[in-house]
Structure 1
Amino acid sequence: MRPYELWIGLRYTRAKRRNHFISFITGTAIMGMVIGVAALIAVMAVMNGFDHTLRSRILSVTSDVIVQGNGMPVLDWPAAVQKLAALPGVTGAAPYVQAQSMLSNGSLVSGAVVEGIDPALENGVNRLDHDMKAGSLVALKTPWSIVLGRSLARDLGVGVGDKITLISPQGGVTPLGVTPRLRQFTVVGLFSVGIYAYDSGLAYINLGDAQRLYGMGQGVTGLRLKIKDPFAAPQFASNLQKQIGPAFYVQDWTQTHENFFKALKMEKLVMFVILSLIVAVAAFNIVATLVMVVTDKETDIAILRTIGVSPRSITAIFMIQGAVIGIFGTLLGVIGGVLLALNIPTLVPAIEQLFHVQFLSPEVYSISQLPSRLEPMDVVHVAIAALVMSWVATIYPSWRASRIDPAEALRYE
């Protein structure tokens, strides 16, 4: 591109125009681009924050990789734990027994997933001990003790030290049919991970108690593994499945919650598309601005054409002018969006305190604070999308400028 095209395009951008309405439309286009880009970056950061927070909370009660028998209990689990714990990249292994049961306290009854665990080994595969709100996970060493999710305990009306009855469907056979097993447990702890499905439907008991209660003998439902990099769990699980063969079924945490994370990914994509429309509206303002500038500069364009400037150069001049508007608006939007995303955890509480409102009530939502996690690649993608839309917006007005007939434009001058 020749220097004079760049020089004229920049001069048109910064020159004081006779038509103040054109300047107003230009300012509107820039502000629209700033608002759209900043809002898109901030919303993407919030979506990333929600995704990261939910992943962390899910991993606090689930392990990275699960190894189960195909419809059969894992019998020689102590040897299996030692063998799996020795694999490269594995930082912990623990057995578990899992079954559906009913918990009751007088007339209050609630269904739950009951897991039998070894408290000493369980701390090596999840962060449940950090989510204990009352009592302790170690107290499960006491026979016939139980740890409940806080919401589940509230539904049953119990606290630490209270007694509840566990009703197991794996009962004994009598002349009257199969009768469920009933066993009284003492509540020794309450946990809360901030996800209602876990807090209201999950309970832990001692591994030995679970084996006796559910008729597992010396077997367990499966083994949990903790690895160094949780995000490498899919590849690790695939390799492990090949090593141990079809007698066992290996599942990683992304498969366990596959639908949930697919929904989050889809929601993030939809939000990106919807908020990109704000940037598209700002790009339409660039079209309006350049059309008015072309109309205002018809005489200048005609003079340039008469002295030998080609239609392609005229197109380049106005594309440069539109690109400058897009670049300036995108740059300011990126700066504003990054600053907003980094300060959301501070700004939201300040707004809540100022206007006496609460955006995320802890009684309704599992996350009571608006999280934010800025990803550099999201900023890059937003900036590229904004620049592409602003460049596309310059094509028609620039082409229209190149089609102006010099004789017609100068007829009445």
Structure 2
Amino acid sequence: MRFEQFVAGRYLKSKRKQSFISIISLISVAGVALGIATVILVVSVLNGFEHELKAKLLANEAHVFVRSINGFFTDYNQIISEIKLVDGVVAASPVIYSQLALQPKGTKKILGTIYVKGIDIKQEEAVTNFSQYVDGSTNLDDPEIVAQAQNKLSKNETLKGGIILGINVASQKGVFVGDVIRLISKMEPNPANPSTFFADVSNYVVVGLYRSGLHTYDNAFGFVSLTSAQDLYNRAGQANLIQVRATEPEIAESVAKRIQDQVKFPGGGLKSVPLTDTWMKQYTPLFDAMKLEKIVTMIVQALIILVAAFNIASTLIMMVMEKTRDIGVLRALGASKLQITKIFMLQGVLIGILGSIFGTLLGLSLCGLLNLDNVRPSYWYSLVILLPVTLQIWLVFFQPVKPNGRRHSVLEWSLRLFWFVILAFVIYCIVRPISIDSSVYQLSRLAVKIDWPFVVVINISSFVICFAATLYPAWQSSNLTPVEALRYE
């Protein structure tokens, strides 16, 4: 071991007179560690949320949406054929949808409204990952389920077909697969009593539940066959939307522009020009807000690390003041200015390295815990427990003592408290995994995506900041002359 490293290590150990300095050193390490852990955790959560939301949206949404200025339109198969000829288009599917009232069979109470979307399953599969998110049958005219449901109806009632309900719609309304629900498409006045209305009711049997993970679909949508929806809305042979899938989500804007230029609706003039929209336009404000939030968060977390760096600088300055006599002795024995500088720089660097290691371990461990579902392997618990174990080793190695020779009870109790917090957090994660309000954030679980290059960058940045914090104290210590240092000894 080199001379500078030996002395720097000895100075960081808590021995009687300098025990207060060593406590501050420990606090400095904790400051750097918490700063790095917080940055890694927060940025990983933001990255995970953005990545998960984007993946869910692109799995459930088309890339481009094509509408007519007239609303509903016919000859949609011909229009789809023209759209498929556009460069960058992979597939297209017709859709007809509107908002209807929902009433479970056997009740007279209307339980809110849902969007009922008429789709062609085969064409829909080419545009979205629809079947991947369905629990149950994707056959909207499943003969077995339809036959069983028909037996539940009276002789003068008929089924229009099957419906796939959003998982939360079904759960909120108390509906299960095989149950019959009523969809009310319109209300007509009763000629005999103008103050009352006749409801146009259609019966559907629930053949499956749609579990996309997105609040918009799980809480507000139902899916029926295209022909059934056309009959439901009295729009035979019509659609009011064409969904388009592009080769890449990022080229949606250019594909939409080419569709406007190359595809024409019947009618001539402005009515023939399709109205196009893209997933990027629909969700741009959301993703822009998330990017801004990430930038602001990183700035705040950088300030936390800067505060820790100032703490390191103040620790070293206080150490220089306390070690003035030692510095004078070392200089009198022949230690060069460069060696004295290295001693105090190594102390700051060591604090930065320890803080980076502890902070990275803590941040990654917490990310691992948050990224798991209800079943949480014990492997991740061991990573979380690594931090207090490491601190325990630190406590044993440096052996902080009071002037009377006893161990520091404050440090021991702090470590015990830390063990308790870690244990409570792990138990909390086992009993109740962290979830978020899907009505606000669309997603129902907290997703985490670790950006490994960022982890490396933040560790290097924190090391550089900690190193910069050592420059002035190290320079101050090297400029002490032996005579000045020993004058009052």
TM-score bucket (shorter structure): 0.7 to 0.9
Q: Partners in 1 of 2:298 and 2:183 — Cα distance?
A: 47
Instruction: Normalising by structure 1, report the TM-score.
Output: 0.77
Question: 2:177 aligned with 1:160, yes or no?
Answer: yes
Shift in Å, 1:125:
1.5
Q: Which runs of 5+ in 2 are unaligned?
A: 147-159, 262-269, 382-422
| CA distance in 2: counterparts of 1:56 and 1:214, whole angstroms | 32
Give TM-score scaled by structure 2 length. Answer: 0.67
Q: Secondary structure at the match of 1:96?
A: strand
Shift of residue 156, structure 1, vs aligned partner: 3.3
How many Å apart are 1:97 and its aligned residue? 1.5
Question: Of the candidates 225, 236, 243, which is equivalent to residue 206 of structure 1?
Answer: 225
2:111 pairs with 1:113: no
After superposition, what is the alpha-carbon deviation per residue over 1:369-391, rounded to whole angstroms, capped at 9, x for unaligned?
65432122331342244234324
Structure 1 residue 54, shift from structure 2 partner: 3.1
Which of 5, 8, 13 aligns to 2:8? It is 13
Change (3 A) 1:111 1:258: farther
- Secondary structure of 1:257 counterpart: helix
User: How far is the alpha carbon of 1:193 from its aligned partner?
Assistant: 1.8
Separation in structure 1 between the aligned mates of residue 203 and residue 306 of structure 2, nearest angstrom: 61
1:71-150 equivalences under 5 Å are 72-87=71-86, 89-105=88-104, 106-139=108-141, 143-150=160-167
Q: Structure 1 regions of 5+ residues with no counterpart?
A: 1-6
Indicate the structure (1 or 2) with the bigger Cα radius of gyration.
2
Of residues 385, 393, 396, the one that matches 2:469 is: 393
Q: How is 1:4-403 mapped onto 2 (pairs within 5 angstroms)?
A: 10=5, 12-16=7-11, 19-70=18-69, 72-87=71-86, 89-105=88-104, 106-139=108-141, 143-168=160-185, 182-187=200-205, 188-230=207-249, 232=250, 235-242=251-258, 244-245=260-261, 247-276=273-302, 278-299=304-325, 318-319=344-345, 321-338=347-364, 340-342=366-368, 344=370, 345=372, 346=376, 354=427, 357-360=431-434, 370-398=446-474, 400-401=476-477
The secondary structure found in structure 2 opposite 1:250 is: strand
* Structure 1 SS opposite 2:431: coil
Q: What secondary structure is seen at the aligned counterpart in 2 of 1:389?
A: helix
Using the TM superposition, name which of 198-207 and 344-353 deviates more. Answer: 344-353
- Deviation, 1:102, is 1.8
Work out the CA distance in 1 between the residues paired with 2:457 and 2:188. Answer: 58
Report sequence identity in percent: 29
CA contact (8 A) 1:129 1:137 kept: no
State how many pairs are aligned: 402
* Alpha-carbon spacing, 1:227–1:304, altered in 2? closer, same or farther (3 Å): farther
Letter in 2 for 1:38: A
Question: How far apart are the structure 2 equivalents of 1:199 and 1:300?
Answer: 70
Shift of residue 287, structure 1, vs aligned partner: 1.8
* Equivalent residue letter for 1:162: D
Task: Report the RMSD for the aligned CA atoms in angstroms.
Answer: 4.3
| Conservation of the 8 A alpha-carbon contact between 1:81 and 1:93 | yes
Tell me, in whole angstroms, the C-alpha distance in 2 between the residues paired with 1:353 and 1:332: 18
Query: SS at the partner of 2:448?
Result: coil
Q: Which sits farther off after the overlay, 87-96 or 100-109? A: 87-96
Q: Return the alpha-carbon distance in structure 1 between the equivalents of residues 134 and 256 of structure 2.
A: 32
SS of alignment partner, residue 178 of structure 2? coil
Cα offsets for 1:49-106 (capped at 9, x unmatched): 3333333333343223222234544543213323433555544321111222222232
Q: Report the CA distance between 1:362 and its aligned residue.
A: 9.2
Structure 2 Cα separation of the partners of residues 65 and 404 of structure 1: 71
8 Å contact from structure 2 (residues 35, 359) kept in 1: yes
Q: Quick one: distance in 1 between partners of 2:445 and 2:53?
A: 12
Amino acid in structure 2 at the alignment position of 1:165: R
